Amino acid sequence: MLQYKYSGEFTTFSNQGQNYNEIKQDVQSISTHYEHLANKEQSIESQKTNDLDALRQTLLLMETMLDTISEYERDFKELNSFVKNIQGEMENLNKEVTELKEQLVTLQNNKPCDKSTIAMVLEVIASIISKIKLNIFSLPLLQLQPTFNLF
């Protein structure tokens, strides 16, 4: 059997300080690497948050645009029905003008009138037509003014 004898000497590492510095550098390197990864992760999360905020804002804008489009569609439907009403009133006006013309022809053919009577009748007809035009065109257009002042 082999026997070992203790000689009383301790083995010392002469490069112990150097190993400590290398270990310290390795720890710092690993720590820096993990900090870098943590910063990257935080940056990615921040970017996700920013992207989600941008998406939310885009969706809100799209929703607002849809509401505005719906309002415009409703306004233009009202405008379309208003224009159809004006067209109907214009047709009635054309009928009335045709009837007035027929009455004038009848007046001229049935009994002779002097020029002053004809002028008076024409003046009355002109004032009636201007009033009808005012009622058909001017007043309704004034009502439409808020519709066209959207911007």
Return left, alpha or beta for 8; rule: phi > 0 is left, psi -120 to 50 is alpha, else beta: left
Least confident of 43-47, 96-100, 123-127, 132-136: 132-136
CA separation for the pair 136, 88 (Å, rounded): 10
Q: Give the domain ranges of the chain.
A: 41-145
Interval 101-121: pLDDT, tens: 777 777 667 666 677 776 777
- pLDDT mean across residues, the chain: 75
Model confidence at 56, pLDDT cuts 50, 70, 90, reads very high
